[in-house]
Amino acid sequence: MRVLKTALVVSSVVVGLSAQSGGKQFVRPAAGDGFSQAIRVGGLVYVSGMTATDVKGDIAAQTTQIFENLRGVLKQAGSSVNHIVNVFVTLEQAGDVTAFDAVYRAQFTGDLPARTTYVGNMVRPGALVDVWVMAVPEGRQRRAILPAGWMKPAGPYSYAIQSGDTLFASGMVSANMTDLTRVGGDTEAQVKKAMSNATELLKAAGMTLDNAVASRVAITHRNAEFAMMNATYGAHWDIKDPKARGAVPGRPDRATVGLDNLPGYDFQVSFVAVKGSLPREVVIPPNPDGTPGQLGALPFSPAIKVGNRLWVSGTTGGTVQPIRAHVKETMTKLERVLKADGFNYSDIVLLEVWLTNVRDYEAVDEVLREYFPTNPPVRKIVGVDALGGAAVVEVGYFAVK
């Protein structure tokens, strides 16, 4: 199996106290880090990607240490491990998943979080696993979703966790959910089955794909099969006018990266969905010259706004080089999305960064620090095999006013 380079933010043990700013509670990292350890806002706690502080141990030791550190972070934010709703795991070696799961499962009582798992290499030498989580504060309800007729998950996760108006779905793959056997076929067949599973999962929670606000896609053959995947994925939403402007119905935001999943699967998709009384709006930023923008033909929206929350699709710097200029071009594009609906950089809570070359991390980090000199967002960094075209960095984010 192909091994892709994947690296998430290296987090350290919390040394600072929580602080308040603009309605957000920040958990500070070690001095000098360009990201917050955790941010509590809008009924959720967002935590930066975390590896073990000491990477000399095996997968079990590193996983144990991550959760020891994670408990401290969540406690400062008024939450706990048992209040986690969504987890993204990156393993360096697929063969470590059994040992990881044994330690991971023992951390929880009650319903396990939703989870998405990838395979790759860490940017930090010796690190074997990276864990990134979202949680709800203590006292806030959360419930697991198990569709009728589906077998209970074989691994330590729930298919989805719902809290309030928001649903966090685990990564969906091409499996027969009545017996969890793998459904074979090419990538197109896998996309169809995974999306069918996602549709059933959302239905069990009283939602549809029209309630999805954010999606993250990992596809093994990203460039070769991107057009086919887009057509198959996009067919699940009825969008008649790609030239539409303003508040129109639309697909969720999306980031699509070339990244390995666990063996046997070439496609995986996870969703966040929201259903409530607040209106849903597709945010379409203006063109660089200030003229009105368009929804576009690709099967995702530039951003989705619900109330005071904004989910923004992964964006790249196109062909701009070198790396620092590429990141700045990306941030310029993202700023147009922010300003299109009255947001600014200080509203960003979670920053997601995908790199085709993890050695570019330091350069990317330097540029991002310029945009977030104080109260930086939490961050997760993933090194991937491929992004769109000549892109070397892709950035997406979640913001709250």
Quick one: 329 and 265 in the same domain?
no
> pLDDT, tens digit, for every residue of 248-266?
667 999 999 988 899 999 9
Identify whether 7 is part of a domain: no
Of the chain, the percentage scoring pLDDT greater than 90 comes to 74
> pLDDT, tens digit, for every residue of 70-121?
999 999 999 999 999 999 998 889 999 999 999 999 999 999 999 999 887 7
The average pLDDT across 215-232 equals 92
Predicted confidence band of residue 245 (pLDDT cuts 50, 70, 90): low
Identify whether 368 is part of a domain: yes
Tell me the three-class secondary structure of 218-234, residue by residue. EECCCCCCHHHHHHHHH
Distance of CA 28 to the CA centre of its chain: 21
3-state secondary structure of 395: strand
CA distance 310 to 303: 7
256, 279, 311 - which closes a domain: 311
CA distance 313 to 298: 12
Quick one: 327 and 220 in the same domain?
no
Quick one: 246 and 216 in the same domain?
yes
Burial of 163 (0-12, 13-18, 19+ CB in 10 A): buried
Task: Choose the weakest-confidence range: 174-183, 208-217, 277-286.
Answer: 277-286
279, 311, 343 - which closes a domain: 311
Quick one: 283 and 317 in the same domain?
no
Quick one: 354 and 237 in the same domain?
no
Quick one: 234 and 316 in the same domain?
no
pLDDT recorded at residue 3: 36
Q: What is the CATH number of the domain that holds 330?
A: 3.30.1330.40
290, 311, 332 - which closes a domain: 311
Identify whether 9 is part of a domain: no
Domain count, the chain: 2
Quick one: 257 and 359 in the same domain?
no
Radius of gyration of the chain (CA): 19
Quick one: 112 and 250 in the same domain?
yes
Quick one: 125 and 265 in the same domain?
yes
Q: What is the residue range of 155's domain?
A: 18-311
Predicted confidence band of residue 19 (pLDDT cuts 50, 70, 90): low
Quick one: 268 and 379 in the same domain?
no
pLDDT recorded at residue 15: 43
Biggest alpha carbon distance in the chain?
Answer: 55
Q: What are the Cα distances from residue 178, in Å, to 29, 147, 172?
A: 44, 10, 14
> pLDDT, tens digit, for every residue of 141-154?
999 999 999 999 99
pLDDT recorded at residue 248: 60
Closest CA to 33 of 265, 379, 394: 379
pLDDT recorded at residue 7: 39
> pLDDT, tens digit, for every residue of 358-399?
889 899 999 999 999 889 999 998 888 889 888 999 999 999
Tell me which DSSP letter residue 50 carries.
B
CA angle 118, 120, 122 (to 5 degrees): 120
pLDDT recorded at residue 10: 41
pLDDT recorded at residue 32: 65
The whole model's pTM is what? 0.92
Q: What is the number of other CB atoms lying within 10 angstroms of the CB of residue 96?
A: 18
The average pLDDT across 109-136 equals 91
pLDDT recorded at residue 242: 62
Predicted confidence band of residue 20 (pLDDT cuts 50, 70, 90): low
* DSSP per position, 298-366: SSS-SEEEETTEEEEEEEE-TT--SHHHHHHHHHHHHHHHHHHTT--GGGEEEEEEEES-GGGHHHHHH
